Structure 1
Amino acid sequence: MKWGWVLLGVLLTFGYLCWSEKGLEFPEYDGKDRVHQLTIKNYKSVMKRYDVMVIYYHKSVGEDRMSRKQFEVEELALEVLGSLTILPKNTVESIYIFADDEIIEYDGELAADTLLEFLYDVIEEPVEIISNDRELKGFHHIEEDIKLMGYFKSAKSSHFTEYDDAAEEFHPFIKFFATFEPKIAKKLNLKMNEVDFYEPFMIKPVTIPGKPYTEDDIVSFIEEHDRPTLRKLEPHSMYEIWEDDINGQHIVAFAEESDPDGYEFLEILKEVAQENTENPDLSIIWIDPDDFPLMVPYWEKTFRIDLSSPQIGVVDVEDADSVWMEMDDEENMPTADELDTWIEDVMSGRINPGDETDYNHDDDEEEDDDDEDDDDDDDYNDDDDDDDGNEDDEDE
C-alpha cells in the first residue's frame, strides 16, 4: 500500500487542528499530481497505477467563474489529501473506494477526519489475528460493532482462506477476528474451524451452524443477521443505517454515554435489546449527540425535543414526524419493563408518528388506577342498589 498518500492526508487534518502551535508547520502542496479526471479512454490505465483509489463523483462544474474557482479549490485540497480522484458527473455526490478487487461505497459523513479514518480501516487487513490475552481483552471491549471470531489451525488453512474471503466482502464495515492459539480458543469456547457471530451489545455470541464453512455460508449468515437489535449511528455509516428502516420507521434513542443519565438509560436500553434479540422486526438506533455536535440543533428543532437529557421515540423516515416517550429529567429514567412496554406499543401500532401527544411511561400506572377507581365505583353502586332493595322490602 502507498502509505505516503494516507500519511499526507493525516498531516493535512492535523495541520488544520494544530497549525497555530509552535514547532508545527502547515503542510504545503508538493506539486505532485494525485488527482485525475477519469475518462472512458484513461480510466483503465489510471486505476492500474494505484493499490487504493477513491472515486469522487462530482456535480457538473458550472460555467460561471465562481463555480470554476470552487472546483479548483476542491481539486487542490484533494491533491494535498492524496488518494482522491474527481470525476465530474451529473449525479448526487458519491464516493467509491477501489481497494484490490473490491469496490467500497462510502456512505458516511462528508468530513475529512471521518473519511481519513475510514480509509485507514480500508487499508487494514480484513481479518485481525488475536494471539494473546492483551489482544483478547481488546476484542472483548468492542461492543458497538458486529464482529466475528474464528478458530483455525493456521493462516494456510483452507478453512481460514474461506473465512478471509468472506471478510473481504464486508470489509471494513464488519469486524472479523481469528485466532490460531488453542488457549485463546478455549477461553472463547471455540472449536477448530468454528466461527462465532457477535451482535452489538449482546453478551453471548451465536455460533454459525454447519461447519466447516464455505465463503458463501458465512456471507449468507451475515446477510441474514446484519440488522442488529440495537445499533449505534456512526459517522462513517450514518446514511446507510438511516436508510435501513423497518416499514418506513425507526425507533431512535438519544443518549450521551459520557453523561450519568445517558449512561444509565443506555444500560437500560441494552437490557431491553438483550431480552428482545430474537425479534427480527425490532431494531433500535442509538445516537450519541456527542458524535454529531452540529446536528444537535437540527434534531432538537425537527423532533421538538431537548437532547440535554436521554430521549427515545419513533420517527417516520419520509417526513420526520415523530412521537417521543415522555421522560422526567429529574432522575426518573423508565425501567426496563416500562421501556419494553413502550416498544411493544410502537411495534403494535398503538404508538406511531401520527400521534400528537407524547407517551408517558406513567400512563400505564394511571390506567391501572382508573380501572381500580371504576371497580370501586361499581362496588359503591352495587351497595346502593342493595340498600334501595332493602328499603323497598321494608315499605312493603
Structure 2
Amino acid sequence: RFKSDHPGSRSCWAMKILVHLVPADKGLEFPQYDGKDRVLDINDKNYKKALKKYSMLCLFYHEPIPDSKELQKQHHMTELVLELAAQVMEEKDIGFGMVDSQKDAKVAKKLGLEEEGSVYVFKANRVIEFDGLLSANTLVEFLLDLLEEPVELIGNALELRAFDRMEEEIRLIGYFKSEDSEHYEAFKEAAEQFQPYIKFFATFEKSVAKELTLKLNEVDFYEPFMVEPVTIPGKPHSEEELVEFITEHRRPTLRKLRAEDMFETWEDDIEGIHIVAFAEEEDPDGYEFLEILKEVARDNTHLPELSIIWIDPDDFPLLIPYWEKTFKVDLYRPQIGVINVTDADSVWMEMEDEEDLPSAQELEDWIEDVLSGKVNTEDDDDDDDDDDDDDDDDDDDDDDDDDDDDDDDDDDDDDDDDDEDDSDDEDDDE
C-alpha cells in the first residue's frame, strides 16, 4: 500500500532529514542537530502547561516503541526529524512533543489524537493535522505557513500577476470594502479553517476587483489548473456558507501530489482507486503530456467522479524505484494509469507509438473507459488468474505424461517377466 506497507511510509520518510555534509561558507550553513533535547515527552502532567507555554504546539502521535531493532531505528530517526525542526523553530515560540498511543492514551483522548504516525499542530483553538512527508524541511515549511496571516492581500497589478501564476493551488479571492467589513471578517474566519492547505486572498482595491470582474463582497473559487474561476453564489457569505462550499468542491479535477499533504491526497480516493499521471514538468515530453492533461481536465471538469493526481517524479526521487517496481512502468516517460489503493494493482494506458504522446481525444477516450469501468484493475487480476490456470493445466499435462510413462514401464517389466518365465520352462524341458 502507498501509505504504510512500503518504503514510502511515514516512518521511512523520517530518514529524509537535513544533514550538513561538507563545510559551508557563511550564509549557507545548513543546520545540524546540536544534541540538545527539545522535544517533550507529553503526558497527563505536562500537556496543559505545554499548550499554555507555546503559541503553537506540534505533537507527534506514535504507536508504542517496538521491540524490533529496525523499527526502533525508524522511531529514533523520527525523533531526530522533530528535534531538528524544534531546533530550527526555537525562536518562533513553537513547541514540539511526542505522545505514546498506549502509555499516554488518556492524554491522546483529551487532545483528540486519533491516527498513529500523524503530527497534530495546536494553534489557538484549532487543531491542524499535518498529513504530509515527515521530513524536517517539509514540516518546518508547513509550520512557517501556519505562522502567516490566513488571508493575503492583493493591492496592485504585480501582486495580481503573482496570484494568476499559482495555478497548482486551490485558491479563493474576495473583494471587500475594508478590513473592518463584517463580510471580510467571515472570509478570514473561513480561511483559518483551511490554513495552510488552501490559499485565501482578498482585495480592497477597485482596480484589482475590476481586473478580476469581482463585485463587492463577491468571492471567486479557483480550482487547480482551471482558467476560469467559479463565483460562489449568494453573496454576501457567512463563514459557514464558505466552509460548506469549499468542503463540497475541495476535490479538484486535476491536482498535484505535494509533500505537505501527500497522504491526505492519497487517502482521498474515489471508490478505492486513483487515476494517476506521472510526468516530469522539466522534461519536454513530460511538459507536453501535462499540457494535454490540463486540456482534458478543463474540458471535463463538470464530471464529479473525475479526479486525476499528477505526480512529478522529480519531487519524490526516493520513491521512483519503488513506483517503477510496484507499477511496472518506466517513469522516464509520461504515464497515466488506474491504481487500486488497497493492493496497489494497476493498469496503464498503452501508447501505440512510444515516440508519440496520446492526443487529447485519445486520452479523453481512455478516461471515459476508466469511468465506465471498461478499464479497471480487476481485469489485471483476471489475467493473472488465467496465467495461473495455464500453469496448472501444464502441470496436469506433465502429470499425465508421467503416468503414461509409468504405465509403459510397467508393461515393459511385465513382458520381461514373461520372457524370463518362458526361458525357465525351456530349461526344465531340456
TM range (shorter): 0.7 to 0.9
Q: Please point out which of 122, 131, 144 is paired with 2:146.
A: 122
Superposed CA deviations along residues 293-339 of structure 1, whole A, max 9, x for unmatched, are: 11111111111110000000111111111111112564311111111
CA contact (8 A) 1:145 1:174 kept: yes
Of 78, 82, 85 in structure 2, the residue corresponding to residue 81 of structure 1 is 85
Pair 1:339-2:342 in alignment? no
- The CA deviation string for residues 61-91 of structure 1, in whole angstroms up to 9 with x for no partner, is 3579998898777656644432321122247
> Are 2:263 and 1:239 aligned?
yes
2:24 to 8, 21, 24: 21
Question: Which of these residues, 48, 65, 82, is aligned with residue 44 of structure 1?
Answer: 48
1:262-277 pair list within 5 angstroms:
262-277=286-301
More off after superposition, 247-256 vs 76-85: 76-85
* Inter-CA distance 71–202: structure 2 relative to 1 (3 Å threshold): closer
Comparing 149-158 with 35-44, which one deviates more in the overlay? Answer: 35-44
Distance 1:64 1:164 in 2: 47
Q: For the structure 1 residues 26 and 19, does the alpha-carbon distance in structure 2 shift closer, same or farther, using more than 3 Å as the test?
A: farther
Q: Secondary structure at the match of 1:298?
A: helix
2: distance between equivalents of 1:146 and 1:330? 34
Q: Is the 8 A contact 2:58 2:119 kept in 1?
A: yes
Mapping for residues 1-396 of structure 1, pairs under 5 Å:
16-17=19-20, 19-23=22-26, 34-61=38-65, 75=79, 78-82=82-86, 83-90=95-102, 92-327=116-351, 330-356=354-380
Deviation of 1:97 (Å): 0.8
Secondary structure of the structure 2 residue equivalent to 1:113: helix
Pairwise CA RMSD: 2.5
1:261–1:331 CA contact under 8 A, matched in 2? no
Q: Distance in 1 between matches of 2:321 and 2:31?
A: 34
SS at match of 2:318: coil
Partner SS state of residue 41, structure 2: coil
Q: Measure the CA separation in 2 of the matches of 1:72 and 1:291.
A: 25
**TM-score of the two chains, using structure 2 as the length reference:** 0.75
Q: Measure, in 2, the Cα distance between the counterparts of 1:209 and 1:80.
A: 46
Q: What amino acid does structure 1 have at the position aligned with 2:55?
A: D
Aligned to 1:381: none
Q: Give the stretch that moved more between structures: 87-96 or 14-23.
A: 14-23
Aligned residues between the structures: 345
**In 2, Cα distance between the equivalents of 1:89 and 1:287?**
33
CA contact (8 A) 2:32 2:84 kept: yes
Amino acid at match of 1:34: R
Relative to the length of structure 1, the TM-score reads 0.81
In the alignment, the residues of structure 1 paired with residue 309 and residue 62 of structure 2 have an alpha-carbon distance, to the nearest angstrom, of: 31
Question: How far is 1:14 from its partner?
Answer: 10
- Which amino acid letter does the alignment assign opposite residue 16 of structure 1? V
Q: Report the secondary structure of 1:301's partner residue.
A: helix
2:41 aligned partner, one-letter code? Q
Determine helix, strand or coil for the equivalent of 2:19.
helix
Larger Rg: 2
Cα distance in 1 between the residues matched to 2:339 and 2:17:
37
Matching residue of 2:415: none
Unmatched runs of 5 consecutive residues or more in structure 1: 1-12, 358-396
1:277: Cα distance to partner?
Answer: 0.6
In structure 2, C-alpha distance between the alignment counterparts of 1:321 and 1:29, rounded to whole Å: 40
What amino acid sits opposite 2:288 in the alignment?
E
1:65–1:107 Cα change, 3 Å: closer
Question: CA offsets per residue over residues 232-251 of structure 1, 9 Å max, x none?
Answer: 11111111111111111111
> What whole-Å deviation, never above 9, does each CA across 1:34-70 have from its counterpart, x for those lacking one?
3222222321122111101101113323579998898
DSSP-derived class of the 1:354 partner: helix
The C-alpha deviation readout for 1:344-366, integer Å capped at 9, x for no partner, is 01111111112349xxxxxxxxx
Contact kept, 8 Å, 2:85 with 2:136, in 1: the verdict is: no
1:26, distance to aligned residue in structure 2 (A): 6.6
Q: 1:29 to 1:356 in 2, by over 3 A?
A: closer
User: Amino acid of the residue matched to residue 57 of structure 1?
Assistant: Y
Quick one: which amino acid aligns to residue 248 of structure 1?
A: G
Please give the alpha-carbon distance, in whole angstroms, between the structure 2 residues aligned to 1:302 and 1:249: 16
The answer (yes or no) to whether the contact 1:311–1:327 under 8 Å persists in 2 is no
Alpha-carbon offset, residue 203 of structure 1: 0.3
Gaps of 5+ in 2: 1-15, 87-94, 103-114, 382-430
Read off the aligned partner of 1:187 and give its amino acid letter. Answer: E
CA contact (8 A) 2:17 2:137 kept: no
The CA deviation at 1:122 is: 1.2
